[in-house]
Structure 1
Amino acid sequence: MSGVNWPPETDLLRAVFDSLGAGMFVTDTTGRITACNPYALQILGWSKERVVGFDLHDLLHRDSEGGEVPREECRALTVLASGRSTEGSSEFYLRGDGTLMPVIWAATPLQHEGDVDGVVLVFHNFKKHRDSAEQTAAHLAALEELTARLSMVAEVSGLLISTLDTPEMLDRLVRLLVPDMADWAVIALLPDGRTEEMRRIAVHSRGDPGAAESLKGPLPQPPHNSRTALAHALYRAQPTLLDERALGQEPDEPLARAHQQLFDRLGGHSAVVVPLYTRRQVFGALTVARTGRQPAYTDAEVLVLSDIGRRTGLALESARLFEQQRHVAETMQRQLLTPLPQVDHLRLAARYQPAQQAAEIGGDWYDAFVLADGVMALVIGDVVGHDLQAAAHMAEVRNMLRALAWDRQGPPSLIMRRLDEAMTNTSDAPMATAVLARLEGPEGGPWDLHWVNAGHPPPLLVTADGHTRYLEGGHGPLLGMSATLHMGLDWPDAGEELPARSTLLLYTDGLIESRDRPIDTGMADLRRHAAALAHHGLEDFLDELLVRIDPGGDDVALLALRLPPAGAGAAGDTRPPPPQHAHSPAAPERGAPGSRAEDTPVRDTSEEE
């Protein structure tokens, strides 16, 4: 290249200089270009005559906007003063056509006999690399945003399946959306059959934490021809994006004024209203808004919020179906459970606690009724299964037992054997366990218990002073097994006198057995807690027992009998019978035959036996 006097021995170096695949400039000590290679001219679009002899900085160096850069900020020329190499990638050079080219460069001092005679600058077009880096950064930013949105949707999904309590679920949802997706979030629900008006049920604001309770409450129902953003979401199941102009154009309707109340109280320049819906039904709407300098909602964010609305609708549908199923199951269970009779001074109490399942119904049952001979019959039982079918079988077995016990007087073992045969030959009910007992004795006592046990946990006797023991006698096979298998097994009768003021507890195995508690441990715990509660009233005895043991994995049925003091109810005793039962798991409108003490004395059959 002209501008450099090449000695003959440096022809090879000149060839390298000319063919180098990077731009190269050589300057003198003032920064004027004294030489350049062809590649430098090619990528910059300058001619040799327009470059050689001109100042490197003044001719080429520009900022990112094309403006001139102060000379003292030219890092390449600092080599002249420092004598040390340097490099960079944030500079721009002016091309011959007036456009800018980002460059990556390295500058080295040109030394001769120890003196710095100039600068050798090697550079390359950095545009492709920078564009790629910017594109990569943009992709990474988009990916991070997508990941954040997916994480939000995943977190919302987890929240929506974590509880079936609708107010709690929706309150947690609005708290999750603020502040990541909004500065405030509000959910309003349409009437659902139990409520006659639309209600704002969940509110959360980053800027006004105390707004929640004051902004909750009933809302005007929008007419179907309403043009409000909220009605658009509710009746068309479509999201609506609102800005300040759109907010100012909302029609003058009661619902629009109520919606505007949110913006007057909480602020907002950009908002989205999305329906909470499924393919079958719209349940309500979610409104989210941004205030202050927060950016307006993008189309991508509206899509995310719409997806959250759809997921919330599905969760609301599941919650309502669960509530309906639970109501039906509870009603059915109460109809199946037995009201307790009131007989003389005896005190009875019962509890039924369903397993923690949607159906809340199963095969456990208790029963107490007065037989034709005036004897009180007590029953606790459990049919295999934990669903509606088990409940149906339970009702079938219970009714057969009642009919057999009433039809013909006899020892409990006779009734149990006939029940086993009836289940085998007239029913498709599976195996069951049960305890059938007869409480016999004159008014005022003493009281005798005669019972038989078909594979069921033994009754627990708790004396007034807190002594406990299981009544282990009378054990025989499960119901539905002996006759089916022609095993010829039988149920032995057992009997003993019960102390005055003692408590007899009949229960199902859900009280003493669970996955994390073996039955031996459960039975020991039951004895310990029952002894500690012996002095409690019978209703409190059962309630506190359930609290202390806290069963949850299976249905639990309890039937407790409290005997009166000795002589209570005998001739000459003026003490009144105990009050009516304070609590019964059975339906409240149902009454028990033989519930009047004066009409149904318990007969003493000890002499007849």
Structure 2
Amino acid sequence: MVNSAASGPTSDDAGDLAARALRDSDAAVVISAAAVPEPVIAWVNGAFTRATGYPGPEAVGRGVGLLHGPGTDPVQVRRLARARGEGRSEVVTLLCYRRDGSTSWNHVAVSPVRDDAGRLTHWIDVHTDVTDSVDAPGRVPGDVVPGRRRGTGLGIVARVSELLADGDGARTLTAIADLLMQDVVTWAGFFLDDGGLRPAEDVEVGDVAPARARRHGPAPRTTVHEQALDLAEAHSAVDAAPDPVQQLLDGTLTGPLELALDADLPPRSAAGWLVRHLRERLAGTSVPVDRVTVLPVDGRERVLGLLVVVLPAEVAGVPGPAESVRTVLHLTARRVGMAVENQRLHAREHHIAQALQRAMLPVQAEVDGLDVWSHYAPSAAHAQVGGDWYDVLQVNPGVVVVVVGDVVGHDVEAAASMGQLRSVVRAYAFDQPSPGRVLQRVDQLVVGMRIPRAASLVLTTLTRTGDGWDLEYSRAGHLPPMLVRPSGVQPLTGALGLLVGYGGTARTSRRERLLPGDVLVFYTDGLVERRDRSLRDGMEALEAACAELSATDAAGIGEQLLARFGDAPEDDLAVVVVRVPDPGGESLAPGDQERRQRRWLLPNEAASIARARHAVLRTCHAWDFPDAPAAELVVSELVANAVLHGWGDVALRLADRGDGLRIEVEEANPAPPVPTEGHADAVGGYGMQIVERLADWGWHASGTGKLVWAHVRPVRRR
């Protein structure tokens, strides 16, 4: 395939019509080998030589960027590079440079060529000169790209608004940065001020963690030597020039700011960290850069972070085009700032409501004569915070009150209304023996208190009589509890009245007799309601699941129900399982691995340690685990450490792995557990040593905290 202006294999030998068409075409054609990082020209036709001045022997062996020059739009070049990297076709318009230095505007269409096995081997580039249609009278070619940017600026800002409306989190900010790189700038990246600058992709946008000491970089210095270096740097920086990036974050400088990447800056300053990070981040790219433009991402009251960009060569230093590009960047940064702040305000409201809600949930006490398990979980993915609650009250040694309720709504007001209503119900439950009378008095008081949200609840009184319990219940618009017994499942559908505060008439109660082995399942609608099925279908599914229960303890029953219904709740949910123990009942068979999992969510307080011990003892008894004392001691130490040194609620999980009991304790303090030799002048410090003697153990990071695990084996190997 050779002519006087091209090199390569001849078409006459093959007699190939397509080869002759490429050779004789008036369009400039380039065939290049699919090399990395840039394809290498393998053949050009005569039209290419006539259009560019490059003869075949001079073009072959050079990269496909042969025609690029200082005015070539780097954004369009990146579009081509991205298409080649993805193995797909693309068409762009480029300012190209001929061999003599003159320019022309070309439509460049690139297409992949694959072998019979589908492997990419070559590229065909077709260049079409469109200078006459682009280079209008009175306009120099260098103005075209900035003009195109001005024309598309409004569309870009609109697309940014769509991305912010459709998504949230770091991925949205990454998508916006990619959008800017397609049509506005050479490179873009967002950084959020999360107690110090961090790349947006490393920050949870809705993070509402308490304010941290200001730092810049992935990890603070912790050793005495490093802290001394920090102090020395702080003293040496007193007389140094102001940190412009920190001024931007503090709001004392409005920006935009031009920052040279070769500047010598204090390493622990905001500007020093940013320059160092950008050098490392851009080192492996083809972006030619010696300085960046930094814009503040403003919230309503403070600067939330930065938008850092590399301006294209044809825009940087040109007042008119640069101003239009900066307008797009300013509007983008402003919209991102408002969206991030709204997400954080929403997350903060959710955090406050959840903390308020959890503070009002009871610490489940041990009930003499009953096996009780409870579970509460908010649905962070769907409804956020709601007004679900439960209560288990030991009125006296022979009377237990169980309440499960749901306040309408999913916000702070719902959580506050739940707290008010729970207090009222609890007070009257201690005073009145009949659930119907309690709800009647609650109706009267709620009307007077003007609680703004409607609520449903079921209130049950269990009174010990002989070897069983008498059950009396009343419902205010709530779903019926399930009474599970060997003879079948009975939904307690009686004693139904209107929602709390809307009674108007006398409330009724219904009675049932509970015998050893009977189980009561109380729940809110979050357990059974889904968008893809009706509430009635959910109730029928729960009734069927209750009929198939095989666990012999309340925690096991609750775990089985959560495994069926609680993995992806679309509303927050509360579940309480009450079982009348059956002394003659059977334990789980050794091979029942499916049922051998338990979990509890415990408040971060000392009472949780005793509850955890009771939980593991009941579980070991139900599973016939022979080394219950060792498991009890390990759980006690791990939960005690979580309560003393951890943050937030404590998650306790137990699992039978066949060769022993797996214990997991999770909380929000990321600091690792450390075995010590004890404290010389105080009691304590030996907890992890005890765990180490009784079990294999370890830990790993989990979310924002850590998970500590221990494996207790019936027969120790040491």
Change in Cα spacing, 1:504 to 1:582, as seen in structure 2 (3 Å) is same
Per the TM alignment, residue 311 of structure 1 is displaced from its structure 2 partner at its CA by: 2.0
Q: One-letter code of the match for 2:483?
A: L
Which one of the candidate residues 413, 416, 433 is aligned to 2:439? 416
Name the CA shift for 1:529/1:290 in 2 (closer, same or farther; >3 Å).
Answer: farther
Would the aligned equivalents of 1:329 and 1:360 in 2 still touch at CA under 8 Å?
Answer: no
**By how many angstroms is 1:253 displaced?**
5.8
The question of whether the paired residues in 1 share the 8 Å contact of 2:298 and 2:338 is answered with: yes
Q: Distance in 2 between matches of 1:567 and 1:506?
A: 25
**1:438 equivalent in alignment to 2:457:** no
Judging changes above 3 Å, is the alpha-carbon distance between structure 1 residues 515 and 251 closer, same or farther for their aligned structure 2 residues? closer
Provide Cα deviations, 1:523-576, integer angstroms capped at 9, x if missing partner. Answer: 1122234445543864465456456446655443222223323369xxxxxxxx
After superposition, residues 465-504 of structure 1 pair within 5 angstroms as 467-483=488-504, 488-500=505-517, 502-504=518-520
Which whole-Å deviations, capped at 9, do the CAs of 1:116-154 have from their partners, x for residues lacking one? Answer: xxxxxxxxxxxxx99977769999976743454334333
Query: Contact 2:378–2:573 (CA<8 Å) still a contact in 1?
Result: yes
Structure of greater relative contact order (alpha carbons < 8 Å, 6+ residues apart): 1
Q: Read off the aligned partner of 1:455 and give its amino acid letter.
A: G
- How far the C-alpha of 1:309 sits from its partner, in A, is 2.0
Using a 3 Å threshold, how does the CA distance of structure 1 residues 396 and 585 change in structure 2: closer, same or farther?
farther
2:191 aligned residue: 188
Aligned pair in 2 of structure 1 residues 411, 237: CA closer, same or farther (>3 Å)? same
User: Matches of residues 78-227 of structure 1 in structure 2 within 5 Å?
Assistant: 144-165=148-169, 167-178=170-181, 180-192=183-195, 197-202=196-201, 217-218=218-219, 226-227=241-242
- Cross-structure match for 1:81: none
Residues 440 and 447 of structure 1 are in contact (CA less than 8 Å); yes or no, is this contact kept in structure 2?
yes
- Find the partner of 1:346 among 361, 370, 382: 370
Alignment-derived partner of residue 230 in structure 1: 245
2:7 aligns to what?
none
- Write the distance in 1 (CA, Å) between the matches of 2:244 and 2:426: 62
Amino acid at match of 2:540: A
Partner residue, 1:313: 337
Q: Name the SS for the 2:600 alignment partner.
A: coil
* Rounded Cα–Cα distance in structure 1 between residues aligned with 2:555 and 2:336: 41
Cα offset, 1:162, TM superposition: 4.3
Task: Count the aligned residue pairs.
Answer: 431
Distance in 1, Cα, partners of 2:150 & 2:489: 64
Change (3 A) 1:461 1:489: same
CA distance in 2, matches of 1:130, 1:338: 74
Q: Which amino acid aligns with 1:153?
A: V
- CA pair 490-257 structure 1, distance change in 2 beyond 3 A: closer
In our comparison, the structure showing a higher alpha carbon Rg is 1
**2:578 aligned to which of 544, 548, 561:** 561
Aligned to 1:389: 413
Shift of 1:459: 0.4
Q: State the partner residue of 1:462.
A: 484
TM-score (normalizing by structure 1):
0.59
TM-fit CA distance, 1:342? 0.8
Q: Deviations over 1:446-495 (max 9, x none)?
A: 33422222332110133479x53312233344432333xxxx44413221
Deviations 1:42-93 (A, max 9, x none): xxxxxxxxxxxxxxxxxxxxxxxxxxxxxxxxxxxxxxxxxxxxxxxxxxxx
Cα distance in 1 for residues equivalent to 2:274 and 2:609: 54
What secondary structure is seen at the aligned counterpart in 2 of 1:441? strand
| One-letter amino acid of the counterpart of residue 258, structure 2 | L
Counterpart of 1:333?
357
Separation of aligned partners in 2, 1:251 and 1:174: 26
Matches of 1:156 and 1:239 in 2, distance apart? Answer: 20
**Larger CA deviation: 133-142 vs 395-404:** 133-142
Residue 536 (structure 2) pairs with residue 520 (structure 1) = yes
> What's the CA shift string for 1:86-125, capped at 9, x where partnerless?
xxxxxxxxxxxxxxxxxxxxxxxxxxxxxxxxxxxxxxxx
Distance 1:251 1:398, change over 3 A: closer
> What SS does the corresponding residue of 2:372 show, helix, strand or coil?
strand
Q: Give the match for residue 301 of structure 1.
A: 325
Structure 1 residues 585 and 515, CA, compared in 2 at 3 Å: closer, same or farther? Answer: farther
2:554–2:579: 8 Å Cα contact kept in structure 1? yes
Tell me how far apart the structure 2 counterparts of residues 290 and 432 of structure 1 sit (CA, whole Å): 57
Equivalent residue of 1:351, what SS?
A: strand
AA paired with 1:312? Answer: V
Using a 3 Å threshold, how does the CA distance of structure 1 residues 398 and 198 change in structure 2: closer, same or farther? Answer: same
Matches within 5 A, 1:15-94: none
Shift of 1:239: 1.0
Cα distance in 2, alignment partners of residues 489 and 253 from structure 1: 74
1:506 aligns with one of 522, 529, 535 = 522
Tell me how far 1:310 sits from its aligned partner. 1.9
1:452 counterpart letter in structure 2: S
Q: Distance in 1 between matches of 2:495 and 2:399?
A: 19
Contact preservation (8 Å) 1:349, 1:561: yes
Q: How far apart, in 1, do the equivalents of 2:218 and 2:606 lie?
A: 34
Whether 2:299 is the aligned partner of 1:278: answer yes
Instruction: State the identity %.
Output: 29
Distance change >3 Å, CA 301–CA 162, structure 1 → 2 = same
Task: Determine helix, strand or coil for the equivalent of 2:500.
Answer: coil
The answer (yes or no) to whether the contact 1:437–1:452 under 8 Å persists in 2 is yes
1:215-246: CA deviations, max 9, x gaps? 9625999979745553453341311235xxx4
Output the CA distance in 2 between the equivalents of 1:332 and 1:455.
25
Q: Does 2:258 align with 1:258?
A: no
The CA deviation at 1:497 is: 2.2
Residues of 2 paired with 1:417 and 1:372: CA distance?
Answer: 22
> What residue is the counterpart of 1:99 in the other structure?
none
Q: CA deviation at 1:406?
A: 1.1
Contact 1:477–1:490 (CA under 8 A) maintained in structure 2:
no
Distance of 2:302 and 2:325 partners within structure 1: 24
Change (3 A) 1:566 1:536: closer
- TM-align CA RMSD: 4.4
Aligned partner of 2:391 among 343, 348, 367: 367
Amino acid across the alignment from 2:254: A
1:490 and 1:447 map into 2 onto residues whose CA distance is: 22
User: For residues 347 and 161 of structure 2, what CA distance do their matches in structure 1 show?
Assistant: 20
- 2:198 corresponds to which letter in structure 1? R
443, 447, 464: which one aligns with 2:469: 447
Matched position secondary structure for 1:338 = coil
My pick for the range that moved more, 134-143 or 228-237, is: 134-143
Instruction: Compute the displacement of 1:435 (Å).
Output: 1.4
For residue 341 of structure 1, report the CA deviation from its aligned partner. 1.4
Deviation at 1:273, TM superposition (A): 1.2
* 3-state DSSP of counterpart to 1:457: coil
Q: Is the 8 A contact 2:255 2:295 kept in 1?
A: yes
- With structure 2 as the length reference, what TM-score do the two structures score? 0.51
Gaps of 5+ in 1: 1-128, 204-214, 569-580, 598-609
SS in 2 for 1:482: coil
1:437/1:338 CA distance change after superposition, 3 Å = same
Q: Which amino acid aligns with 1:447?
A: W
* CA shift for structure 1 position 319: 2.7
CA distance in structure 1 between the partners assigned to 2:560 and 2:175 by the alignment: 32
Moved more, 348-357 or 314-323: 348-357
Partners of 2:148 and 2:408 in 1: how far apart? 53
Q: CA 1:299–1:529 in 2, change beyond 3 Å: closer, same or farther?
A: farther
Per-residue deviation, 1:328: 1.4
What residue identity is the alignment partner of 2:492? L
CA separation in 2, counterparts of 1:172 and 1:403? Answer: 54
Query: Which letter does structure 1 place at the counterpart of 2:218?
Result: G
Counterparts of 1:457 and 1:582 in 2: how far apart (Å)? Answer: 24
